[in-house]
Amino acid sequence: MVVVMLVAGVGGFLGFRHHQSEQRLAQIRAAVNEFAEASDTADTEKMVTLMCRAEAAEFTEGFEGDLDNGGPIEPASRRPVNIESITVSGDEATVEVTRPPAPTKTFKLKREDESWKLCNPE
């Protein structure tokens, strides 16, 4: 009986950890896709909300006025987002992203305020 309970407990724990891991990966994918959409549509205000604090400060430095009224980027055509791989270490993640026809880019993300934020978008 003890062995059965132990096996059930370990199985439950591993299932819970797997669920947490899948949730974290889904959150990272969502952050990358939201950033790509904001970038493609020149929604600079949205882009800033998806950047870590340091990156957002650098992005908006020297820009005065409304970010969505002639912000620092121009709209581009929508391109697919292919997430090739995600590596997570604590509150940091590295994501390999391909947006054809461009080559693969590596994005760094940090978990800030319970959300994944991009820390090197270009």
* Residue 40 contacts residue 121 (beta carbons within 8 Å): no
Q: Which domains does the chain have, with CATH numbers?
A: 2-118 (3.10.450.50)
Residue-wise pLDDT for 64-104, tens only, equals: 655 555 454 566 678 899 999 999 999 999 999 999 888 99
* Residue 95 contacts residue 109 (beta carbons within 8 Å): yes
What is the rounded distance in angstroms from the CA atom of residue 17 to the CA atom of residue 75? 40
Residues 6+ away with beta carbon under 8 Å from 73: 39, 42, 44, 47
The pTM of this model reads 0.73
What is the rounded distance in angstroms from the CA atom of residue 84 to the CA atom of residue 115? 21
Does 36 score more than 60 pLDDT? yes
Residue-wise pLDDT for 53-74, tens only, equals: 999 998 888 766 555 554 545 6
